[in-house]
Amino acid sequence: MQLSRHSRGWTKCAKRDLIHHVQPLISIHEAEDLILSQLPVLDWEETGLEHAYGRVLAETISADRPIPPYDRVMMDGVAISYQSFAAGRREFTITGTQAAGSPALTLENKDQCLEVMTGAVLPDGCDCVIKIEDIRLENGVAHLSPSCPASPGQHIHPAGSDQEKGSPLVSGGSILSAPELAIAASVGKTQILLVRQPNILLITTGDEVIPPDEQPRPHQIRRSHAPAIKASIESKQLGNVTNVHVSDTKEDLEKAISEGLEDFDIILLTGGISMGKFDYVAPVLDSLVGTPSFHGVAQRPGKPFAFWPGKTPVFALPGNPVSVMACLARYVLPALRHMRRETWNPQTLPLAHETIWNAPFPGLVASNVFDNQLHPSPPRNSGDYSALAGAQGICELPSSSPASTTLPFYPW
């Protein structure tokens, strides 16, 4: 007997062929270990400096010349020969001005001086800088105050005193932020070797969800997973996310996954991973990829979470909004950090107050961090996405816990 067209036009026999058996539940940490041990490692790519922020460096950046490259003036003032100062001279005729960016002048007469600017090269024949606050300028003569200090090398940044030529400045594996980019620019590294960003296909499912800019009918809801997942991943430079939405049919899902396995580094799916009549994700992946490493984790929310390893790893997240965000923070983001060779461990923080958790499994609980303490806010259910507003991530809560209990925190 044929099922109705509304039921996707399959025969009962065909429907039975899609039966997928959920595996025994494993622990959160078993799931984490299986994921991290089976992920491919990303290779390298050369990228312009302007696109390197937040990326992982795949080479060592070294000094292309001494730092600083010349004896550098550190104060506005005048440059003198200390020998004249030591002999008792306190008035020096100014014979020129050494501006920053100009070739070094030469002090011809040790009883004279040259006006100097911060950042300028130290003039030849000078070995001491008197700052402007200790000088009275009058008719082209610098009159030093009676209490003016002076010593050889005063207010001079010697060439090579910070780093020698060839010294490593930024090590491979570093995450590039503003200071590292400034260092790279200072040594002329306009093209940098970085860990490649993975191209991620995000497949969202569900006939009940419509684009955010459309008006839902009484039986529909707007899509919310894609903007949250894309923002979380891309803001951390962990990957480039492309989203496609497919209907709850085996054919559409199989086509999207097949194309993703060919063209992308990672596939993320949301929804369709449980045992409902139209939950086709697991059986389709079984037919395309094989048996998952696991399907089912002893956690709440997100119990149906599953992972398929391979050249293109597949993360299948449950469809409820809280489950999506919890699994994203606990598994997907750490996995992406691992793939780019980043050494990362969750921050451990104490609970600010006693937290009740009566579920049969450990919780991935939306939390805020204030004053270096965790403030969990357990949702009423895994669809209570409004409870996530203001939360910064999740803590892993094994059971009801008193205040000061230390727990790992995973930001999203």
CATH number of the domain to which 309 belongs: 3.40.980.10
Same domain, 202 and 189: no
Residue 20 pLDDT: 54
171 and 58 fall within a common domain? yes
Domain endpoint, select from 339, 366, 400: 339
pLDDT of residue 383: 65
Domain-embedded: residue 16: no
Structure tokens at 45: 């790519």
Average pLDDT over residues 389-410: 95
Query: Is 52 found in the same domain as 32?
Result: no
Provide CB contacts within 8 A for 214, sequence distance 6+.
222
CA 342 to chain centre: 10
pLDDT tens figures, 1-37: 222 222 223 333 333 344 555 689 999 999 999 999 9
Task: Give yes or no: residues 376 and 251 share one domain.
Answer: no
pLDDT value at 382 more than 50:
yes
pLDDT given at position 15? 38
Domain assignment present for residue 298? The answer is yes
Q: Are 19 and 26 in contact (CB under 8 A)?
A: no
Answer yes or no: is 361 within a domain: yes
Q: Both 202 and 320 in a single domain?
A: yes
The answer to whether residue 303 sits within a structural domain is yes
> Does the pLDDT at position 181 exceed 70?
yes
Same domain, 38 and 48: no
| Average pLDDT of span 370-375 | 95
Residue 307 sits in the same domain as residue 211: yes
Mean pLDDT of the chain: 91
Report yes or no on 171 lying in a domain.
yes
CA-to-CA distance for 78 and 116, rounded, in angstroms?
A: 5
Task: Give the model's pLDDT for residue 379.
Answer: 73
In this structure, the answer to whether residues 49 and 124 fall within a common structural domain is no
The pLDDT, as a whole number, for residue 304 is 96
Question: Which pLDDT value is given to residue 44?
Answer: 95
State the CATH number of the domain containing residue 99: 2.170.190.11
Q: Quick check: is 8 in a domain? A: no
Helices (H), 87-202: 178-186
What is the rounded distance in angstroms from the CA atom of residue 346 to the CA atom of residue 370?
16
pLDDT band at residue 386 using 50, 70 and 90 as cut-offs: confident
Give the confidence band of 381 by pLDDT, cuts at 50, 70, 90: low
If you average pLDDT over residues 384-406, what whole number do you get?
A: 90
Rounded-to-integer distance, Cα 361 and Cα 376, Å: 16
Residues 365 and 386 in one domain: yes
pLDDT digits (tens, 9 = 90+) for 183-201: 999 999 999 999 999 999 9
Number of folded domains that form the chain = 4
* 1 is a domain residue: no
What CATH number is attached to the domain comprising 393? 2.40.340
Identify whether residues 223 and 257 lie together within a single domain.
yes
Range of the domain at 79: 72-157
Residues 398 and 364 in one domain: yes
**Quick check: 171 and 57 in contact, CB under 8 A?**
yes
Residue 127: Cβ within 10 Å count: 18
Tell which of 319, 339, 359 closes a domain: 339
Same domain, 205 and 334: yes
Within a domain: residue 3? no
Distance, in Å, from the CA atom of 25 to the CA atom of 304, rounded to the nearest integer, reads 9
Q: What is the CATH number of the domain that holds 178?
A: 3.90.105.10
* Residues 104-143: tens digit of each pLDDT: 999 999 999 999 999 999 999 999 999 999 999 999 999 9
Alpha carbon separation from 229 to 238, 311, 335, 339 (Å, rounded): 11, 22, 14, 18
**Which residue, of 157, 179, 206, is where some domain finishes?**
157
